[in-house]
Structure 1
Amino acid sequence: MVWYMYMHIVSMLFLGLSSFICGLMFFVKAFSGVVDIVEWEMISLNSSSICFVMIFDWISMLFMSFVLLISSSVMYYSGSYMHGDKNFNRFMYLVLAFVFSMMMMVLSPNLISILLGWDGLGLVSYALVIFYQNEKSANAGMLTVLSNRVGDVAILLSIGLMVSLGSWNFLYYSYYILDKDWMLMKFLVMLAAMTKSAQIPFSAWLPAAMAAPTPVSALVHSSTLVTAGVYLMIRFMSALKGSKIQSMLLIISCLTMFMAGLSANFECDLKKIIALSTLSQLGVMLKILALGYPDLSFFHLLSRALFKALLFMCAGVLIHSVSSYQYILYMGCLVKFMPLSVSYKMVANLALCGFPFLAGFYSKDMILEVAFMSWINFISLILYIMATGLTVSYTLRLMYFSESGTLILSALNKRSDSDKIMTNSMTLLGFSAVVMGSVLSWVLFPEPYMICLSVVMKNMVLMISILGAVLGYMMNLVTVSYNLKSLKNYEFVVFSGSMWFMPFLSTKNMSKVYLEGGENMEKLMDKGWYEYLGGQGLYYFFSKLFYVLNELQMNGVKVFMKMFVVSMVIILFFIYM
């Protein structure tokens, strides 16, 4: 890795630490209701001005600090992972552009400047997904960019609706938008968040985006692209309180959690299993957000970012060590050859399950208890309980096959922790996955939540986790008989393992709709009515009009006689009517 890349990494690390300290200072200010907003007047013409607005509060500064710290670790990790790639410099600059787009979105209280970062994330993510330039990457990139364009259109329509307010700074008008007349705008904001955070029915692009290099997956799934939708909903939360949008978001997020957890138990691709776990955790964040707890959602957003990035980086090390295989059934017994990497992966997996005193425990346990205490319908509660158990189940399944199963790979593969750059880059995130959960809980909740539950409901979280662990362990022990039994329920296994057929619905049928519908619209509108009523039609009309005017200017007797006869006919017609 060249020297100027090290400068970028050190600068991002320094900015991340500075932002974290500033975020703590702004958090103290937040108790007095102080928020710093910076406006830069770019263009001023008469009474109109175009201003670039940035917001500096504890939410934006803490989130930006986590984005920068994780990005610096991922870029340092990429120096070894992408070593030898002929397009290495292009990759690193694309990652920098990705981080810059995310910062643009995080610091924007304005819908137009948010759209710049929002579209930047979509464009750069497309460039990163198709980085390896093969057919699979091209298909995955097209699915990703087309799914995200739905959210871009929703943001554009929201900008159009906010014109009547006289400004696009939505934080100033949050309580005004509470009115029922603004239900369409709330729905559009929720639609944009659903596409970016891959909720049903836009979930297919998230596992497909695993065609990107693993460092990109670590960045995308931890603190950047998929969290943009959750962050937007947190910002709009004061405008969504008490609306039907919350109930709709609650059902969709619970279905997404359950679908992702069920699919991960039947998936065998290492990166796709982790991607489905990301999808499940996004459902957790949006679900608790729909219940009216944006602070808990933000807490889980930060703590999850640490162990999710660590999990993807460990997966990249394992994939490198087994000759780029991603199929977990080809792995096994890696704990004897790569103890350090497997230990980091175990920490990340246990944090994902909510193991006590790791980063995921403090946020996930509190979210579950608050959900049990809230007014929630029975179906959502059952889906939430089942999704929590399935999380532990697929995590144990993943650990068994990739780390402690039977050694299947040949002896020609090099399996060791000898790459110091990769292991050192995971050290910061490994330490954070152990410590930062408790630190964030002390910082963000100086006054603890008052949670009143019965003994059964209080122990429900632990019981669900134990039942999920037993289910996952039993599935591992009876792997052969389980695979034979799955043939008897082939339809259910295919339905569950294929994300409820969403990849097929999002690719084959939708591409037919897009392509054939676009072709028909081009024939009917662009080359049809638009031409008839537009350019060609106007040309024909004006050419005839100029011909008539030319005849009138000739002052001919025949012209005036014709006009006299036509006018007399019209007058007589109206007289006898």
Structure 2
Amino acid sequence: MNVISICFISFVFLFIVSIMSFLFSLYFLMNDFIYYIEWEVLSINSCPIVMTFLFDWISFLFMSFVLFISSLVIYYSKEYMSEDKNINRFIMLVLMFVFSMMLLIISPNLISILLGWDGLGLVSYCLVIYFQNVKSFNAGMLTALSNRIGDVAFLLAIAWMLNYGSWSFIFYLEFMKNNFESGLIGGLIMLAAMTKSAQIPFSSWLPAAMAAPTPVSALVHSSTLVTAGVYLLIRFNYLLVGNELGQFLLLMSGLTMFMSGLGANFEFDLKKIIALSTLSQLGLMMSILSLGLWKLAFFHLLTHALFKALLFMCAGAIIHNLMNLQDIRGMGGLILQMPLTAVCFNTANLALCGMPFLAGFYSKDLMLEMVSLSYINSFSFFLFFFSTGLTVCYSFRLVYYGMTGDFLCFSNYSMNDDSWLMLKSMLTLLFIVILGGSMLSWLMFSSPNMICLPYHLKLLTFFVCLMGGLFGYFISIYSFMFFNKSLDYYLFSFFMGSMWFMPFISTLGSIYFPLLIGKKMIKSFDQGWSEFLGGQSLYQYLSDQAIFNQLMQNNYLKIYLMSFFFWIIFVLILMFL
């Protein structure tokens, strides 16, 4: 079967299933249905092994979004990965990735969630190292090992769930609220979700995972791998509300949002800027979730999946046309060279900023108004609104460097919008990005929310976004005036641009001392004392003794006479003493 048919069949199948899943979600939402299906796989001596599935409007709606984006990504990959000889293997890996996510979404049982959870981790490693070079291998190892911490926490949560007699947590959430085991299980699940969704201090793997092909990044950063932790906490939201776990998650996710927003303003790699914006939005979802507003977090999860997938697809088309250049300082004037791609890119960027009536506006504005209405401290309030300003700041910086001005890459190089398969995927997603937010808000919130706020708080979101956009524009134009190019500025920009040194702490910081101890052990033991006391030294000593014994037993008369002589002298000395 040739490449085109595999891509096309996968695209058609996923697209049809996504439409069916969306229709089911509407039906379940309107009728308030929940289907819980148990399938007995095996029964040994009256001990059943049961597979359980939970179908409700949340799982169907999320599945429809994941499958829709995956189908467009596969269609997009047909042209983007056309030079790859192993594209069949790539499509199979993407399908395995999507299947693992499906298993995670519909599982109300910790064991079956673990299957999908580990499937995501394993296949993500294979996809990150897909372009086999040193950078990819390092990024893949960092991704895999960071996520293993969460996997261990998940296994411990499975062990502690034995206290309740079943791993189907969905039955015990109301009952589990206020005892020790529930706090421990909630903490372990939260740790697992923080590693998968890359919250501080596990944030360094997410920008490193940009070593994967761009279609994979569009899938991973929109609706699959990084959103798995948020989705898990949406299911476990009862255990986080009104206790120390929720407060801790609010602090960590707020700092993640702030840190990634600052880092994106000092970054020049196109894909890493978009990855850091994903990290910022994940922090926003987690922090809203910690306030108990799980429906809002889910709403933003879906709208963010749309515009972030479009943003990565546009970035991939730009990188593809620029012969794999990813530095935004080499771009410029793309709106003249690639008008359709630029329209999609700018629309996705405006949706990310919360431009009115695009997908991001309906979720972000509602979330920030609910934060203004909530009972939180000043520091968390500052993190929410300042991080929103930073989002607009780096988005406008990206538009300034990429879209305006002159083309800075090659003197005699022309780009075009001829990649029609990629454009079809992007334009389809563009249509959903424009309409998706309003449609989802009408579906999910049947009655309009009345949020009564003072005048200055009502306009605060608009003011913060406006200031962030202006600052991002001016900082791009007059960066030489804002910052003198001194050593202090370079140290500051390096600190901010390196995610507060987190990648170095995660890699060199965690491995330096074990490697140093290993070096000392080799020098002092393997190449030190063991050289004198080990196998080689023992062999030499025994060889010397064998030679001496052989010499003593050669029946030489002079040896016997000399021995007799020394023996007589020894006896005489003893007698006279």
| Fold agreement, TM-score > 0.5 | yes
Shift of 1:89: 1.0
Q: Which amino acid aligns with 1:16?
A: S
Answering whether residue 109 of structure 2 is matched by residue 110 of structure 1, we say: yes
Q: How does 1:308-457 map to 2 (within 5 A)?
A: 308-457=308-457
Supply the distance in 2 between the matched residues of 1:517 and 1:117 (Cα, whole angstroms): 37
Supply the distance in 2 between the matched residues of 1:105 and 1:291 (Cα, whole angstroms): 24
Query: Residue 37 of structure 1 corresponds to which residue in structure 2?
Result: 36
Query: Residue 10 of structure 2 corresponds to which residue in structure 1?
Result: 8
Shift of 1:299: 0.2
Q: How does 1:247-286 map to 2 (within 5 A)?
A: 247-286=247-286
Query: Residue 533 of structure 1 corresponds to which residue in structure 2?
Result: none
Shift of 1:373: 0.4
Say whether the 8 Å CA contact 1:178–1:240 is kept in structure 2: no
Task: Work out the number of aligned pairs and report it.
Answer: 518
Answering whether residue 270 of structure 2 is matched by residue 231 of structure 1, we say: no
Answering whether residue 194 of structure 2 is matched by residue 191 of structure 1, we say: no
Q: Which amino acid aligns with 2:496?
A: S
Mean Cα deviation higher: 501-510 or 44-53: 44-53
Deviations 1:172-225 (A, max 9, x none): 010122123121111100000000000000000000000000000000000000
Supply the distance in 2 between the matched residues of 1:503 and 1:492 (Cα, whole angstroms): 16
Shift of 1:9: 0.9
Query: Residue 17 of structure 1 corresponds to which residue in structure 2?
Result: 19
Q: How does 1:41-52 map to 2 (within 5 A)?
A: 41-52=40-51
RMSD over aligned CA atoms reads: 1.6
Supply the distance in 1 between the matched residues of 2:124 and 2:287 (Cα, whole angstroms): 26
Supply the distance in 1 between the matched residues of 2:497 and 2:41 (Cα, whole angstroms): 51
Supply the distance in 2 between the matched residues of 1:451 and 1:517 (Cα, whole angstroms): 59
Shift of 1:409: 1.5
Query: Residue 84 of structure 1 corresponds to which residue in structure 2?
Result: 83
Answering whether residue 130 of structure 2 is matched by residue 131 of structure 1, we say: yes
Q: Which amino acid aligns with 1:164?
A: N
Shift of 1:29: 2.6
Structure 1 residues 113 and 36, CA gap change in structure 2 (3 angstroms) = same
Say whether the 8 Å CA contact 2:6–2:88 is kept in structure 1: no
Shift of 1:483: 5.6
Q: Which amino acid aligns with 1:332?
A: G
Query: Residue 96 of structure 1 corresponds to which residue in structure 2?
Result: 95
1:417 is paired with a residue whose SS is coil
Structure 1 residues 126 and 225, CA gap change in structure 2 (3 angstroms) = same
Deviations 1:64-89 (A, max 9, x none): 00000000000000000000112211
Shift of 1:487: 4.6
Shift of 1:513: 5.6
Shift of 1:46: 2.6
Q: Which amino acid aligns with 1:186?
A: G
Q: How does 1:169-208 map to 2 (within 5 A)?
A: 169-182=168-181, 183-208=183-208
Q: Which amino acid aligns with 2:426?
A: M
Shift of 1:8: 1.4
1:226 is paired with a residue whose SS is helix
Answering whether residue 57 of structure 2 is matched by residue 55 of structure 1, we say: no
Q: Which amino acid aligns with 2:418?
A: S
Shift of 1:482: 4.1
Supply the distance in 2 between the matched residues of 1:298 and 1:408 (Cα, whole angstroms): 41
1:325 is paired with a residue whose SS is coil
Mean Cα deviation higher: 480-489 or 257-266: 480-489
Query: Residue 536 of structure 2 corresponds to which residue in structure 1?
Result: none
Q: Which amino acid aligns with 2:22?
A: F
Q: Which amino acid aligns with 1:20?
A: F
Mean Cα deviation higher: 463-472 or 485-494: 485-494
Shift of 1:450: 2.3
2:50 is paired with a residue whose SS is strand
2:49 is paired with a residue whose SS is strand
1:499 is paired with a residue whose SS is coil
Q: How does 1:210-249 map to 2 (within 5 A)?
A: 210-249=210-249
Structure 1 residues 9 and 518, CA gap change in structure 2 (3 angstroms) = farther
Q: Which runs of 5+ in 2 are unaligned?
A: 522-577
Query: Residue 543 of structure 1 corresponds to which residue in structure 2?
Result: none
Deviations 1:329-378 (A, max 9, x none): 00000111100000000000000000000000000000000001000111
Q: Which amino acid aligns with 2:345?
A: K
Q: Which runs of 5+ in 1 are unaligned?
A: 522-577
Structure 1 residues 75 and 517, CA gap change in structure 2 (3 angstroms) = farther
Q: Which amino acid aligns with 2:27?
A: M
Shift of 1:480: 3.4
Deviations 1:496-520 (A, max 9, x none): 1110000000010213366678999
Say whether the 8 Å CA contact 2:286–2:297 is kept in structure 1: yes
- Alignment TM-score, normalising by the size of structure 2: 0.88
Supply the distance in 2 between the matched residues of 1:287 and 1:309 (Cα, whole angstroms): 22
Query: Residue 492 of structure 2 corresponds to which residue in structure 1?
Result: 492
Structure 1 residues 486 and 116, CA gap change in structure 2 (3 angstroms) = farther
Supply the distance in 1 between the matched residues of 2:391 and 2:71 (Cα, whole angstroms): 29
Say whether the 8 Å CA contact 1:304–1:360 is kept in structure 2: yes
2:368 is paired with a residue whose SS is helix
Q: Which amino acid aligns with 2:175?
A: Y
Mean Cα deviation higher: 104-113 or 404-413: 404-413
2:52 is paired with a residue whose SS is strand
Supply the distance in 2 between the matched residues of 1:4 and 1:206 (Cα, whole angstroms): 30
Structure 1 residues 513 and 367, CA gap change in structure 2 (3 angstroms) = farther
Supply the distance in 2 between the matched residues of 1:274 and 1:180 (Cα, whole angstroms): 41
Supply the distance in 2 between the matched residues of 1:55 and 1:396 (Cα, whole angstroms): 42
Q: Which amino acid aligns with 1:335?
A: I
Say whether the 8 Å CA contact 1:321–1:413 is kept in structure 2: no
Deviations 1:95-140 (A, max 9, x none): 0000000001001000000000000000000000000110000000
Q: Which has the larger radius of gyration?
A: 2
Structure 1 residues 192 and 520, CA gap change in structure 2 (3 angstroms) = farther
Say whether the 8 Å CA contact 1:221–1:275 is kept in structure 2: yes
1:42 is paired with a residue whose SS is strand
Supply the distance in 2 between the matched residues of 1:518 and 1:100 (Cα, whole angstroms): 41
Q: Percent identity?
A: 54
Say whether the 8 Å CA contact 1:29–1:35 is kept in structure 2: no
Supply the distance in 2 between the matched residues of 1:91 and 1:462 (Cα, whole angstroms): 43
Supply the distance in 1 between the matched residues of 2:259 and 2:191 (Cα, whole angstroms): 19
2:507 is paired with a residue whose SS is helix
Mean Cα deviation higher: 112-121 or 238-247: 238-247
Q: Which amino acid aligns with 2:11?
A: I
Supply the distance in 1 between the matched residues of 2:49 and 2:93 (Cα, whole angstroms): 29
Query: Residue 71 of structure 2 corresponds to which residue in structure 1?
Result: 72
Deviations 1:239-290 (A, max 9, x none): 3322211000000010000000000000000000000000000011001100
Q: Which amino acid aligns with 2:10?
A: H
Supply the distance in 2 between the matched residues of 1:446 and 1:518 (Cα, whole angstroms): 62
Supply the distance in 2 between the matched residues of 1:227 and 1:517 (Cα, whole angstroms): 38
Q: How does 1:476-555 map to 2 (within 5 A)?
A: 476-482=476-482, 484-485=484-485, 487-512=487-512
Say whether the 8 Å CA contact 2:241–2:291 is kept in structure 1: no
Shift of 1:481: 3.3
Say whether the 8 Å CA contact 2:221–2:278 is kept in structure 1: yes
Supply the distance in 1 between the matched residues of 2:516 and 2:399 (Cα, whole angstroms): 45
Supply the distance in 2 between the matched residues of 1:157 and 1:466 (Cα, whole angstroms): 46
Q: Which amino acid aligns with 2:189?
A: V
Mean Cα deviation higher: 377-386 or 234-243: 234-243
Say whether the 8 Å CA contact 2:268–2:329 is kept in structure 1: yes
Supply the distance in 2 between the matched residues of 1:486 and 1:107 (Cα, whole angstroms): 54
2:37 is paired with a residue whose SS is strand
Say whether the 8 Å CA contact 2:267–2:273 is kept in structure 1: yes
Structure 1 residues 150 and 516, CA gap change in structure 2 (3 angstroms) = farther
